[in-house]
Structure 1
Amino acid sequence: MESAQKSPTPVGTPWGIAPFRRYLSAHLISVTGSAMAPLALAYSVIEQGGGAGSLGLVLATNTVPMILFLLAGGVFADRLSRSRLLFLGNLLAAAAQGVLAVSVATGHATTASIAACGFVSGTASSFIGPAAQGAVVQIVPAEHLQQANALLRLPSNAVKVLAPVAGGLVVAASGAAWALAGDAFTFAAAAVLLLGLRLDAPITTSTSALTDLRAGWASFWSRTWLWTYTAAGAVLVAAWLAGFQLLGPLVAASQYAGARDWGLIQAAFACGLLAGTLVCLRWKPYRLLVVAIAAGGALVLPLAAMARGLPLLLVLVAALLAGVGLDVAVVAWTTAFSQHVPQDEQGRLIAFNGIGERLAIPAGYVVTALAAHAWDGRTALLACAAMIAAATVLNLCVPAVHRVNRLTPVDRPRPTHDRREAEQT
């Protein structure tokens, strides 16, 4: 089978690397099914008589494992074969979605059983995520990492525009069970493709997972640019989700034409994500981390536009620009992380980053909901926009951020276990 460790001939683009084509194909298949899953999951709860409380429980049980097990996923990704972890993770997700589809189809689904399947799926995701981050670095040469990251984002963003519509048609025509079965099939198909991707396990001299975890935390904390980016991200992500997902529909209902206009705003944002990916296929900025932080600040635009009650057309433009900014930020950040963190530490450090950015989300929802009772929705939305702006500006004031720039092949850091070199990057 293909081995990503060997690259006998130079290639002009990531598409010329056979293991990357296999990995990209598996990713495309998997995200296509996953994009339809949230709608199918919601209607599976509704079909068995559940309401908002039941759906909230199901969504929570899908998210909690990402916090509980992400660190374990990061440790395993730095000790075991990442391709094998990706295979097993997709296989576990396929099994969970398959069981859920059967239970819904046979009428035996309950809130508890749906939540249990969601917990298993969330657990699988907590191992897939860190392994995926490190796998790309093993497959693709450093000079092609940004293009590879953009190519991986391209199908994800495309299906965000198309898959929900397809999922709605499937659910409307055949019921939620068929959409869930389709998701299970895509996970299984991705697992089969990943089985042929043979990546060697990272080289480690550690004797225990706990030692790896401690070393990972020391490495994470020694990189000022990384923990400050994570801290700023915690504020930004919580404010964005609370503002866009929680307050956005409420403000759209009171200031615009409700669900119709809110759907247009979401569609504009999704189109922006897709456009941002296309930008990243061509543009290769030198100041990777500065670009990632500044571009992420574009999320202020739709929140501020709705808070100020601007006409719908201007809100749509703001949402489009926010989508472009977010995708540029994600690709630039992923490239910077891939180039400035040694391969044998990427699983653990991306796990610390992921947990850090997620921890504030529940608190953000609660605080925003309370603020919406004390203030009107537009004022609370403006507060969320101000938090994003403040986090962006403060993060840009960190000197270490300005030293995390694009590396050429000759600049690429050597694999090392010497933690004293960490801050030099």
Structure 2
Amino acid sequence: MQTATTPGTTRRGPLGSAGFRRFLMAHLISSTGSAMAPLALAYSVIGGGGGAGSLSLVLAGNTVPAIAFLLAGGVLADRLSRSRILFAGNLLAAAAQGALALIVAGGHATTAAIAACGLVSGAATAVTAPAAQGAVRLLVTAEQLQRANALLRLPGNAVKLLGPVIGGLVVAASGPAWALAWDAATFAVAATLLLGLRLDAPLTVTSALDDLRAGWTGFWSRAWLWTYTAAGTVLVAAWLAGFQLLGPVVAARRYGGAPDWGLVQATFAGGLLAGTLLALRLRTHRLLLVSVTTGSGLALPLLALGVGLALPYVLLAAALAGVGLDLAIVAWTTAFQRHVPPAELGRMSAFNQVGERLAVPLGYLVAGLAADAWDSRTVLLACATLIVAATAVNLCVPDVYRVDRAGRAGPAERP
């Protein structure tokens, strides 16, 4: 079994582990395809004669399985070989995206066909997410987790700056089918790399249902875990409602429309990348406290847009939010991996991610209803207030100050 004691891990940091290098390479390759896929998917729907309603159906088909299959993926990750789960999930996603590319290229891209491929791809991604969380803990030492998590964030944040631009050029020059085919190819290459990890399956004698029940008990017994998940659900819902949904509306009315909003998005992505680079060098002791406080920076651009500040201040707020968010993600992931035993990482990750995924439809629904009653800037200020309030409530949890880099296990954290 490949574990964190792999030779070379301590000598050169996480990159000294051959298994982690393979995992990182698979993530990098897959990220290049994932960055182009949303744009190609949208233009596949439009090219097939669909409009906003058809696109929302396709996006829902991609999102719903992420919620439905996460718990199954969490149980599987704690029962089966994580490398085999990652291999199968990426291979299934490759098949789904490859089939979609062929459908689009052949001119048969109906909304139903695109949604069906998205359903399969979304299910594959959801099943593999908990396994990926647990795999990192087995590939590097506990002391190297923060740096490893930051390195894994680096490819995705880098391609967020370049991927959509390159994807747009590919779609404009040759059509969406080629971009979708590239996404399928990156999934296939990633699957091959991940199979080579050869992480053995955990030993288990209980049923899957018993594992799920035990997982919920373990999740609920860790106050720091479920309170962070609850606060995170509110925070993510408010952020998506304010920034993703209402931000473009306010930009169109007060600022320069799409070009200015594109600049805000790019600045936020640049902040994410800067946050990753900072996380590579910054040693934080109270990991959960750092995550809770830096994540509250998401309120800044909502506040700037809500009060109508000039564009340069909005850009500054977006950059600071990006830096804070990435620091929060790296600190949280590191705390989670250090304080949850490897045998439970899959299920604990699944319960945590279910809360965050539920925030997506919740945020859009609440924002849509609120926008009918109030103007967009008032809703933006309300969303900023929700983020600050969720952070303040989370800071009242004593365990937030105890979950640190040392990874000292309390009663609920001991294997």
Shorter chain as denominator, the TM-score bin is over 0.9
Separation in structure 1 between the aligned mates of residue 171 and residue 392 of structure 2, nearest angstrom: 44
Separation in structure 1 between the aligned mates of residue 129 and residue 353 of structure 2, nearest angstrom: 9
SS of 1:286 mapped into structure 2: coil
1:117-171 Cα distance to aligned partner (Å, 9 max, x none)? 0000000011110000000000011010000000000001000000000000000
**What count of residue pairs does the alignment treat as equivalent?**
414
Partner of 1:421: 411
Contact 1:13 1:144 in 2 (8 A): yes
Partner of 1:94: 94
Separation in structure 2 between the aligned mates of residue 391 and residue 169 of structure 1, nearest angstrom: 40
Aligned partner of 1:73: which letter?
G
Partner of 2:343: 344
Separation in structure 2 between the aligned mates of residue 201 and residue 30 of structure 1, nearest angstrom: 24
Aligned partner of 1:87: which letter?
F
Deviation at 1:193, TM superposition (A): 1.0
Contact 1:32 1:159 in 2 (8 A): yes
Contact 2:237 2:359 in 1 (8 A): yes
SS of 1:3 mapped into structure 2: coil
Q: Is the counterpart of residue 291 in structure 1 residue 281 in structure 2? A: no
Task: Please show how residues 323-362 of structure 1 align to structure 2 within 5 Å.
Answer: 323-362=322-361
Contact 2:5 2:140 in 1 (8 A): no
Task: Please show how residues 200-215 of structure 1 align to structure 2 within 5 Å.
Answer: 200-204=200-204, 206-215=205-214
Task: Please show how residues 52-131 of structure 1 align to structure 2 within 5 Å.
Answer: 52-131=52-131
Deviates more, 1:171-180 or 1:368-377: 368-377
Aligned partner of 1:247: which letter?
L
Contact 1:224 1:423 in 2 (8 A): no
Aligned partner of 1:38: which letter?
P
Aligned partner of 2:77: which letter?
A
Deviation at 1:200, TM superposition (A): 1.2
Separation in structure 1 between the aligned mates of residue 413 and residue 396 of structure 2, nearest angstrom: 17
Partner of 1:252: 251
Deviates more, 1:332-341 or 1:352-361: 352-361
Task: Please show how residues 306-317 of structure 1 align to structure 2 within 5 Å.
Answer: 306-317=305-316
Aligned partner of 1:153: which letter?
R
Contact 2:235 2:387 in 1 (8 A): yes
Separation in structure 1 between the aligned mates of residue 318 and residue 244 of structure 2, nearest angstrom: 13
Aligned partner of 1:88: which letter?
A
Contact 1:4 1:197 in 2 (8 A): no
Aligned partner of 2:314: which letter?
V
Compute the TM-score of the two structures, normalised by the length of structure 1.
0.95
Partner of 1:389: 388
Aligned partner of 1:34: which letter?
S
Separation in structure 1 between the aligned mates of residue 195 and residue 219 of structure 2, nearest angstrom: 31
Deviation at 1:424, TM superposition (A): 7.5
Partner of 1:29: 29
Task: Please show how residues 5-16 of structure 1 align to structure 2 within 5 Å.
Answer: 6-9=5-8, 10-16=10-16
Compute the TM-score of the two structures, normalised by the length of structure 2.
0.98
Deviation at 1:423, TM superposition (A): 6.0
Unmatched segments (≥5 aa) in structure 2: none
Contact 1:304 1:385 in 2 (8 A): yes
SS of 2:69 mapped into structure 1: helix
SS of 1:108 mapped into structure 2: coil
Aligned partner of 1:182: which letter?
W
Deviation at 1:364, TM superposition (A): 2.0
Separation in structure 2 between the aligned mates of residue 243 and residue 3 of structure 1, nearest angstrom: 43
Aligned partner of 1:44: which letter?
S
Aligned partner of 1:392: which letter?
T
SS of 1:332 mapped into structure 2: helix
Separation in structure 2 between the aligned mates of residue 328 and residue 363 of structure 1, nearest angstrom: 25
Separation in structure 1 between the aligned mates of residue 103 and residue 61 of structure 2, nearest angstrom: 18
Contact 1:222 1:423 in 2 (8 A): no
Deviation at 1:254, TM superposition (A): 0.6
Deviates more, 1:12-21 or 1:153-162: 12-21
Deviation at 1:374, TM superposition (A): 1.2
RMSD (Å) for aligned C-alpha atoms: 1.4
Deviation at 1:12, TM superposition (A): 3.1
Unmatched segments (≥5 aa) in structure 1: 414-419
1:180-214 Cα distance to aligned partner (Å, 9 max, x none)? 0000000001111112111111233x420000000
Contact 2:286 2:404 in 1 (8 A): yes
